[in-house]
Amino acid sequence: MNYLCQIWFETSAIEDLSEEEQQKLTSDCRAYDDGLAEGGHLILAQALRAPATAKTVRTRDGKVSVTDGPFAEIKEFLGGIILFKAESMDEALHIASRSPLARFAALEVRPAYSIMEKD
């Protein structure tokens, strides 16, 4: 089964890291992703840019609107995703818990529907 791990950062926690700490975290994350790939688990790992770079798209009554950034002030922001394969939720949680990002962020692990599954 596939699992999506959403990485939710508290704004202050990540902003308080020094340049050296940020570089170490990036290096640790690359090694973690490489390990998942070597183990046959990794499907996709992607860091996201800051929320200020986002656009929000809505279609209401046939009209499209685009606004800058997230809709509301947020304490936490989505900083990245990891899509991986695991045999069970227990294994998925174990995989997520080993991420270096778990020290700085909340990692939400959620099973994904397979396109072949029926409701």
| Rg over CA atoms, the chain | 16
Length of the chain: 119
Domains and their CATH numbers in the chain: 2-112 (3.30.70.1060)
Task: List Cβ<8 Å contacts ≥24 apart for 47-55.
Answer: 47/79, 47/80, 48/78, 48/79, 48/80, 48/81, 50/77, 51/77, 51/78
Give the torsion sign (CA, 37, 39, 42, 48): negative
- Per-residue pLDDT 10s for the chain (119 aa) are 999 999 999 877 777 889 999 999 999 999 999 999 999 999 999 999 988 899 999 999 999 999 987 766 778 889 999 999 999 999 999 999 999 999 989 999 999 987 765 65
- Write down the pTM of the prediction: 0.85
Distances (CA, A) of 25 to 20, 72, 87, 109, 119: 9, 28, 28, 20, 39
